[in-house]
Amino acid sequence: MTDLLTPVLTENWGKDKSWTYDFYAQHGGFEAAKKALKMKPEEVMNTVKDAGLRGRGGAGFPTGVKWSFIPQANPKPKYLIVNADESEPGTCKDMPLLLASPHLLLEGIVISAYAVNCHQAYIYIRGEAAHVARRMQAAVASMYEHGWFGKDIQGTGFDLDVTVHSGAGAYICGEETALLESLEGRRGQPRLKPPFPAVEGLFASPTVVNNVESISTVPSIIKNGVDWFASMGTEKSNGFTIYSISGHVARPGQYEAPLGTTFRQLLQLAGGIRKGHQLKFFTPGGSSTPMLTEEHLDTPLDFEGLAAVGSMLGTKAMQTFDETTSVVRTTTRWAEFYQHESCGKCTPCREGTQWLVQILKKLEAGQGEEGDVDKLLAVCDDINGLSFCTLAGGAVSCVTSAIAHFRPEFELGYTTPAWEAFPYEKSALFEGGVK
C-alpha cells in the first residue's frame, strides 16, 4: 500500500535537522531555483500553468493562471503573499511542512516571485503558531545569509525581500482579503471585491496570494517538469498533495499521495478505523466541507470527484469519526468554532452562527423542541450564500450535511441528551479522555 505514497513535499520529514539550510542544500535544494532564474519569468509562469498545479488552500484555482492575472504594466510594486494561516479544523499539513522543510517554501517563493516580477514577499503565519514563525524567521535569515534573498540574488540581478508576519490568531485571516487587511495592520475582515487582489491587493498594489503547499510544490515542477507532475493525479486535478487524517484511525497523520486517491486507500495507509470500530462519517477537506459517510469511501479525492458528491476537496483534511461519535455533538463543536471565528462584519454570519449554536446546544442537551431541526435548516437557508464571504457557508454546510445524513440523531435531541445516546468517553481517543 505504501507505493501509493508520493513523497515530494514530505520526503525529508523526520530526517535529522531537515529544517536547516545545509540539509536542504545537500539534498537537492535550490536546483529548481537555479534553473528558474535562468529561464524567462513568462517561461516559469507557463511551466506552472502547463503543469496544471491547482491551489492547495482549498479553492483549487490554477496557480499559474492566478499569477497571470497580475498586471505587469502596473507601475506599482507587485507582492507575493504566502498564506500560512492554516486554521481549518482538522487541517494540519502546512505547519508540519514548514517545520520540517521550511526551505522548500522559500525556494518556491524565489521561483514564484521571479515569475510574477515581485520583489517583496510575505509569509503570513497563523498567530497561534509561534513556533512555526520562529522556524521560518530562522530559515529566512539563512536565505539572506546565502544570498537567496536580498539584492541581486545569486548574482542574477533579481532582488527579493521576504518578511515573516504573524497574524493575531483569526480563522478569517485565511480568507485572502482579510489576510491583506491584517497584513496592512487593520482588523482582519474581508474586503469588498472587486477590486480583486491581483489588481489592488496589499497596499492597493497587484498581489498574488498562494497557499504554502502550492508554492512549496513549485520547485518540484520546475525541477522535474510538466510531464512528471501531470503523470500524477487525475485528468483535471494534477499532481500530489498532502492529506491530513485525524480522528478515529489507527495511525493519524499526513499522507502525501496523488490527487484522486480514495478515502478507502487513505484509510488503509492510516491503519484503518481504530480497532473494533466502524467508520461513521468523515470530512473530506476540513469541517467546512460537507461531511461524507461510508458510501463515499471510493470517491476520488480530487476537485471534481468531491464536487460530484456535493462536497469539496477543501484542505484535504479527513476528520474521521467512528460509530461511538455523536454527530450532534461534533456539529455543535464545529458551529461553536464558526461562531467564535466569525469576524462579525456581516449579519448572516455574525448573527446566524450564534443562533445555530443556541439551537444545537439545546439539541445536544436533549432539550430540543419539535421543529428545531427544521428551524436549524431554515436558519442555514437564511445564511447560505448570503454572507459577505464564504466563512458562513462552511458553518452552514457542516450542519446541513450532518442533518442530511443523520437527521434522526438530531431529532433524538428533542428527548435525549447526546451524551446519553453516545457516551462521550467511548469516543475519546485516549484513556481518560473527555468525559
Partner 1 sequence: MTDVVQTDLVTLTIDDTQVSVPKGTTIIRAAEKIGIAIPRFCDHPLLDPRGSCRQCLVDVLDAGNGRGFPAAQASCTMTVAEGMVVRTQFTSEKAKKAQAGIMELLLINHPLDCPICDKAGECPLQNQAMSVGRGDTRFDGEKRHYPKPLEVTPQLLLDRERCILCARCTRFVEEIAGDPFISLASRGRNQQVAVYPEAESGSLYSGNVVQICPVGAFTAKSYRFNARPFDLVSVDTTCEHCASGCSLRTDQRHGKVRRRLAGFNPEVNEEWNCDKGRFAFASGHIDRVETPLVRVNGELQPASWPEAIRAAAAGLKKAGDKVGVLPGGRLTLENAYAYSKFARVALGTNNIDYRSRRGSKEEATFLLSAVAGATTPSYADLETAKQVVLVAFDPEYESPIVQLRLIKAVKKGLKVVNLSAIRTSRSDKLKAEWIPVEPGAEAAALGKVKLDADSIILVGERGALAAGALKAVVEAANKSGARWAWIPRRAGEIGAVESGCLPNALPGGRPVADVKARVDVATAWGLETIPGNVGLDAVEIVNAGAEGLLDALVIGGVELRDLPDPAAAMQAIDRSFTVSLENRLSQAALLADVVLPTALIEEQSGHFLNWEHRAGVVNKVVKSSAMTDLEILDLIATEMDAPIALDSTEKASNEWAGFGNWEGERPALETEPIEAQPEGVLLTAWSEPLWASAANDGEENLAASARAEFAALSEATAKSLGLEAGDEVSVSGDVASIRLPLQVREMVDGTIWIPANSRQGTLGELGAAVGHVVTVAKEGK
Tell me how far, at minimum, the Cβ of 184 lies from partner 1, in Å: 15
Beta carbons within 8 Å of 426's beta carbon, 6+ residues apart = 324
Beta carbons within 8 Å of 401's beta carbon, 6+ residues apart = 290, 291, 310, 311
Select from 111, 98, 99 the least CA-distant residue to 51: 111
Residues counted in the chain: 435
Beta carbons within 8 Å of 43's beta carbon, 6+ residues apart = none
Tell me how far, at minimum, the Cβ of 122 lies from partner 1, in Å: 22
Tell me how far, at minimum, the Cβ of 106 lies from partner 1, in Å: 32
If the CB atoms of residues 350 and 405 are measured against partner 1, the closer one turns out to be 350
Select from 290, 286, 282 the least CA-distant residue to 396: 290
If the CB atoms of residues 64 and 190 are measured against partner 1, the closer one turns out to be 190
Tell me how far, at minimum, the Cβ of 347 lies from partner 1, in Å: 5
Handedness of CA 343, 349, 355, 361 (dihedral sign): negative
Q: With both helix axes pointing from N to C terminus, report the angle between 41-51 and 212-224 in degrees, rounded to the nearest 10.
A: 100
Separation between Cα atoms, residue 305 and residue 290, nearest integer Å: 13
Select from 71, 88, 136 the least CA-distant residue to 394: 88
If the CB atoms of residues 45 and 335 are measured against partner 1, the closer one turns out to be 335
If the CB atoms of residues 290 and 348 are measured against partner 1, the closer one turns out to be 348
If the CB atoms of residues 147 and 385 are measured against partner 1, the closer one turns out to be 385
Angle, CA of 283, 284 and 285, to the nearest 5°:
95
244 membership: H or E segment, kind and range: strand 240-247
If the CB atoms of residues 28 and 344 are measured against partner 1, the closer one turns out to be 344
If the CB atoms of residues 141 and 378 are measured against partner 1, the closer one turns out to be 378
User: What ranges make up the beta strands (E) of 316-403?
Assistant: 317-322
If the CB atoms of residues 168 and 250 are measured against partner 1, the closer one turns out to be 168
How would you class 192 by CB atoms within 10 Å of its CB: exposed for 0-12, middle for 13-18, buried for 19 or more?
exposed
If the CB atoms of residues 18 and 401 are measured against partner 1, the closer one turns out to be 401
If the CB atoms of residues 101 and 288 are measured against partner 1, the closer one turns out to be 288
List interacting residues with partner 1 (CB under 8 A). Answer: 170, 172, 187-188, 192, 339-348, 350-355, 358-359, 375, 378-379, 381-388
Tell me how far, at minimum, the Cβ of 62 lies from partner 1, in Å: 21
Tell me how far, at minimum, the Cβ of 378 lies from partner 1, in Å: 7
HSE-up (13 A, CA, CB side) for residue 139: 27
Tell me how far, at minimum, the Cβ of 390 lies from partner 1, in Å: 11
Tell me how far, at minimum, the Cβ of 243 lies from partner 1, in Å: 30
Contact between residue 372 and residue 413 where contact means Cβ atoms under 8 Å apart? yes
- Kindly report the number of other CB atoms within 10 A of residue 244's CB atom: 24
Handedness of CA 5, 11, 16, 17 (dihedral sign): negative
Tell me how far, at minimum, the Cβ of 391 lies from partner 1, in Å: 10
Tell me how far, at minimum, the Cβ of 360 lies from partner 1, in Å: 11
Contact between residue 282 and residue 266 where contact means Cβ atoms under 8 Å apart? no
Side chain identity at 43, as an amino acid letter? E
Which cell numbers hold the place of 238? 494534477
